Amino acid sequence: MIKEFNQKRPYDLIILEYGLNIATERGRNYDNYQKGLLKAIGHLKENFPQAGLLLLSVGDRDYRTENGDLRTMPGVKNLIRYQQNVAAESGIAFWNMFEAMGGEGSMAKLVQAKPSMANYDYTHINFRGGKHLAGLFYETLIYGKQQYDRRRAYEAK
């Protein structure tokens, strides 16, 4: 059915972004996540061979320490390393949303921004935060396209 869908409406780009809910305070081993993601990417490549694939990393997610301080969950950075490896192994593009958000401790800053750009669960961005990140993502795509066009023009000479 998915091949038929591709025949009726072929995609140019498929963007994948999921995994934040499996990130935990002690998350170190995401082998099963990696295995499932590689399988999903393989399935998409097989059924949408003309499409480029782009994996967005998870964003920041905070937890409260024993002292009550907000910190980035260590599992987030581990999960991002797994995601980078998946993208490299499968030959697809990768965008580090965690870094685009501001890296370590950025979720708390987004929650505390005026007006707030994230929810008080210190896990999910809100509409304003999404709009902000979408703008950064768009700028990244445009910059990448400009670099691609310049390289192609140079190679044509």
pTM over 0.95: no
The C-alpha atoms of residue 105 and residue 60 are separated, in whole angstroms, by 7
Residue 3 confidence class, pLDDT cut points 50, 70, 90: confident
User: Domain limits of the chain?
Assistant: 2-156
Residue 9 confidence class, pLDDT cut points 50, 70, 90: very high
At 39, list the tokens: 């399988």
The domain defined by 2-156 carries CATH number 3.20.20.330: no
Q: Is the dihedral of CA 44, 95, 61, 136 positive or negative?
A: negative
Is the pLDDT at 58 greater than 80? The verdict is yes
Q: Which of 125, 55, 104, 116 lies closest to 84 in space, CA to CA?
A: 55
Mean pLDDT of 57-65: 94
Mean pLDDT of 48-77: 94
Is the pLDDT at 85 greater than 90? The verdict is yes
First and final C-alpha spacing in the chain: 44
Residue 21 confidence class, pLDDT cut points 50, 70, 90: confident
| pLDDT > 70 fraction of the chain, expressed in percent and rounded | 100
